[in-house]
Amino acid sequence: MTYCVAVKLDAGLVFLSDSRTNAGLDQISTFRKAMVYELANDRFITLLSAGNLSVSQSVREILQTHEIQDKAGEPPLTIWNATSMFDVARVLGDAIRYIFQRDGEALKANGVDFNVSMVIGGQIKGEAMRLFQVYSAGNFIEATKETPFFQIGESKYGKPVLDRVITQHTSLADAAKCVLVSMDSTLKSNLSVGLPLDMVIYKAGDLQSQSILCIDEHNPYFQMLRNSWGDSLRAAFDNLEQPDWSRQPSEDNPLRSTRNASMALKKITTPAEKNI
């Protein structure tokens, strides 16, 4: 299984992915699920992937060379010459459809679902940052101010803290801290998600990043964060007031089912008994 999260802020973008892949209970491997496509002073793009590993690897490989021919006589569109992140998302979606056309029937014949989901985001010179989630059909949606983050893979455990903390005005440092807490919650509850982690932090307008990190079990900051977050949760729980159920009226509780003792039960008689 996989857990990846990407956040779009006023200040920049934050990407985080785990690296565990399961092919069975006794076959656990490590594969990178993040990829950076960078052209100095022109574009900085990060891709996160989840789903069938063979499909996602094929898509990632072909994305670098795949072309869309929009109009005759014009240069084919690739991620390297696209003038907008929207067009980059289009190229990615088209690459997914290409792999489906090439491998979909063979996978289906062997009982394997064509399952892939991806998040791609970044900035191209002259354009604002943008972030997209791309589905197995090649269609996609874009992050907004109201929905500033995307999750793919095993997303349910890490979502609550993102919902409570992340807004478009969150700083890059706080967003990085928040996605790591989100990942820690997922690691705690799901053994199919595992270290090491890959993190990319991009500052708006830079068209490059000095913060492309690999975080393993020996990383001192992540160890501190895991321990501090766990201790803080337990302390917050211990500080909650104990419930006092005696304050709650229970006699008229709609969940209670009572029988009126004064009502006699009527004997059910059959037609044969009536004739006796």
Residue-level pLDDT, tens digit, the chain, 276 residues:
799 999 999 999 999 999 987 655 566 778 899 999 999 999 999 999 999 999 999 999 999 888 898 878 788 999 999 999 999 999 999 999 999 999 999 999 999 999 999 999 999 999 999 999 999 999 999 999 999 999 999 999 999 999 999 999 999 999 999 999 999 999 999 988 999 999 999 999 999 999 999 999 999 999 999 999 999 999 999 999 999 888 776 667 777 776 665 555 555 556 665 555
Maximum C-alpha span of the chain: 101
- Distance, CA of 94 to CA of 98 (rounded, Å): 6
What the block records as the tokens of 168 is 């478009």
Domains of the chain (ranges, CATH numbers) = 3-221 (3.60.20.10)
Where b means 16+ CB within 10 Å and e means fewer, 80-94 reads eebeebebbbbbbbb
